[in-house]
Structure formats: structure tokens, C-alpha cells
Chain A
Amino acid sequence: GAVVSQHPSRVICKSGTSVKIECRSLDFQATTMFWYRQFPKKSLMLMATSNEGSKATYEQGVEKDKFLINHASLTLSTLTVTSAHPEDSSFYICSARSGGIEKLFFGSGTQLSVL
């Protein structure tokens, strides 16, 4: 099956710093990538949808200036958490979709801890 690589898997940072998370599709072209946030034992909450070469579409309540998403190529999307605060601590997970295929393939997630 299709492989989506996400890294880092875990990051600990100080409050006020920025953190970049990468999501790569390794064996297919990801026309659309999705970024989710997940709290312990809770479901995935969609943060934003990014299409290659265009601006990301953010869900209501998600600050686009705080969570910067770039989808510059068909195999790479990045999420940058700017000026991170402790309340941004969470599990972030990306997923990718290729063309007309409706099944999403997930990265392994990034556990962000902001001190």
C-alpha cells in the first residue's frame, strides 16, 4: 500500500519557538494532504486541507497564521506551528490522497510537547 512518512515523530520545544512537521508521500503523488490534531483518546480533528500549489483551506476555529501549511510539491506538505504555546501540545497527524482515490493514507503522527 501507499506510504506516507511523517517526521519528526516526537518534538519537545520551548514556549515561543516554532516547530516544523513534514509529511511526505513516498510512492505516490499526493494531490491533497490533510492535517489533523488529536487529543488523548479523542478523535481526529481536521485542521486544514492543502492542495498542491495552492493555499490551504482551514477549518473554522483554526488560526491560519499560527498553523502555517505549505504544500509546495506533490510529495511534500509541511505544518509549522509558530510561536508555540503549551496549549498547542498535541498529536498532529497528516494524511494524503491521490487524485480520485478516496482512501486516505496516514503518516505516523508527531507528538508535540511545548514546555
Chain B
Amino acid sequence: EDKVVQSPLSLVVHEGDTVTLNCSYEVTNFRSLLWYKQEKKAPTFLFMLTSSGIEKKSGRLSSILDKKELFSILNITATQTGDSAIYLCAVGSGGSNYKLTFGKGTLLTVNP
């Protein structure tokens, strides 16, 4: 059974702090790892990672994948209250039966 484990499950920080969210996985036929941000309704796409060691960056957010150790991290620097959300890690696996398995998410709260 495919597994995606995120840690921590929740995190409370102050504006300006830097946070690191973790995602480890065990899946059959790994295809990609994706990060999403979910505030109220639909998750919004952040990053898709397929290759080890190549950092993807978007503003204050960055992410990297380690396919040998089977994990990824999502970094957020200089956090703002608008970063408060659930951050979801998902792993795409399978061939013709492709599916996306989500972790439980990390609930990030950024206080002013």
C-alpha cells in the first residue's frame, strides 16, 4: 500500500520565521511528488518534483526532492499570515493506473 507521511502535522510560528515541512513516502512505481496549498476550498498547486537534488523555487517558497532517501521538504522563508494553510504533499505513482496519494497535511498557522 502506498504511503505518504508528512510532519509535523501542525505548526504555529510568528511572522518572519522560516519553516520546513517534511514529506516522506513509500510507493510503487514513483512518478512525481507534488506540493499543494489548501486554504478554504480547492488545493492550489505549488510544485511538482521529479528529479533528485534540483531545488524548485517560487518567491519565498522552495522545495527539493531526495529520491534515494524518499523524502521532500518544503521551505517557506519570512513567513506571512497569508501563508497560514494546510500544506499537502502528494505522490504520483503507477503506470496506466496512475494515482495521486496524499499525506495528512501540515496545518501551518502564522501569527502576526
Contact = CB atoms under 8 A, between A and B. Distances in A.
B34 interface: yes
A108 B104 CA distance: 19
Interface stretch (A42-50, A65-73, A80-88): A42-50
Contacts of A43: 86, 88, 102-105
Interface stretch (B12-20, B65-73, B91-99): B91-99
A9 B101 CA distance: 24
Contacts, number: 51
Contact of B107 (A36, A41, A44): A41
Contact of B48 (A36, A41, A102): A102
Contact of A104 (B100, B103, B105, B107): B100
Contacts of B105: 42-43
Residues of A contacting B: mostly: strand
A43 B5 CA distance: 11
A97 interface: yes
Interface residues of A, number: 24
A45 B99 CA distance: 12
A46 to B, nearest CB: 7
Contact of B92 (A36, A57, A102): A102
Interface string A97-108: 100001111111
Interface of A: 1, 4, 32, 34, 36, 41-46, 49, 57, 93, 95, 97, 102-109
